[in-house]
Amino acid sequence: MKKLLVGLAVTLSVVGYAHAAGDAKAGEAKAAVCAGCHGGNGVAMIPNYPSLAGQHQTYLAKQIMDIRDGSRQVVEMTGMVAGFSDKDAQDVAAYFAAKPKNLGQADPALLERGQELYRAGDMAKGIPACTACHSPTGMGNEQAKYPVLSGQNPAYTEAALKKFRDGVRANDPNNMMRAIAAKMSDKDIQAVSNYVFGLN
C-alpha cells in the first residue's frame, strides 16, 4: 500500500499539465467517424463502449494517441485512428470534452459496496479509495490525466478494470490501475462500476 501511495505522489508530481491545443469546431467533422460507437454527442448507446462526452480533453487525446501508437490495444479503433495526427486527436478530444456528460442511475442493489470502495477503499485488501485520483464527484483530475468516471457506462468500466487487472491494458501511469485492479474481485469491480455510473 505504501508503495502504491508513493507511486501516486510521484506520478502527480511528474505528470506535467500540458493543455492540448484542440479546436472543438475542427474536431466536430473529424469526430463523425466516432458516432457509430460513441454517439453523435459522445454518449454511447451501446453499453460496452465508453461515453466520451464531458471527458477531459487531455485524457481523451492521450487515449486516442495511445491507441494509434499501439500502446493501448483496442481492435475496434485501430483502423479508425491510424491516420490521426496529434492535432486531429486533440481536436476530436476538444469536441467531445465540450459536450454535456452522460447522467446515469446506479442499481440500488450494488450501491452500498460500490460507494464503500469508491469513497473509502478496502484497507483489508489494500485497495485505496477511488476518490484519491478520480475526486469525490467522479470528475477525475485533468492535470494528471485521470479520467472522469461519473456517468460512464458500467459495462465499459467493468471491462476496463478487468483489462487492467489481467494486464491486457497497460497504459496507466506507474502501473497504478493494474496494481489496484489486481486486488479487486469481479463483485468489487461490478459494484464500483455501477456506483460511478450513478455518481452525478
Residue among 99, 118, 44 nearest 77 (CA): 44
Range 2-12+103-197 has CATH code 1.10.357.10:
no
Residue 1: per-residue pLDDT: 52
CA separation for the pair 164, 144 (Å, rounded):
18
| Cell numbers that stand for 197 in this block | 455510473
Residues 63-76 have pLDDT tens digits of 999 999 999 999 99
**C-alpha Rg value of the chain to the nearest Å:** 16
pLDDT grade for 78, boundaries at 50, 70 and 90: confident
Instruction: Please say whether the beta carbons of 65 and 165 come within 8 A.
Output: no
pLDDT grade for 21, boundaries at 50, 70 and 90: confident
Is residue 8 helix, strand or coil? helix
2-12+103-197 matches 18-97 in fold: yes
Q: Which CATH architecture has domain 18-97?
A: Orthogonal Bundle (1.10)
The full DSSP string for 151-197 is T--HHHHHHHHHHHHHTS---SGGGHHHHHHTT--HHHHHHHHHHHH
Statement: residue 2 has pLDDT above 60:
no
Give the residue ranges of the annotated binding site: 34, 37-38, 77, 130, 133-134, 177
Q: What are phi and psi of 27, to 5 degrees?
A: -70, -25
Most confident of 7-16, 20-29, 157-166: 157-166
Q: How far is CA 119 from the centre of its chain?
A: 17
pLDDT grade for 9, boundaries at 50, 70 and 90: very low
Residues 39-58 have pLDDT tens digits of 999 999 999 999 999 999 99
Give the residue ranges of the annotated binding site for heme c: 34, 37-38, 77, 130, 133-134, 177
Structural domain boundaries in the chain: 2-12+103-197, 18-97
| Cell numbers that stand for 103 in this block | 447522467
Looking at the chain, the whole-number percentage of residues with pLDDT higher than 90 is 88
Instruction: Please say whether the beta carbons of 194 and 114 come within 8 A.
Output: yes
Residues 104-157 have pLDDT tens digits of 999 999 999 999 999 999 999 999 999 999 999 999 999 999 999 999 999 999
Question: How far is residue 25 from each of residues 28, 83, 99, measured CA to CA in Å?
Answer: 5, 19, 12
| Cell numbers that stand for 78 in this block | 485501430
Question: How far is residue 93 from each of residues 64, 76, 105, measured CA to CA in Å?
Answer: 8, 18, 25
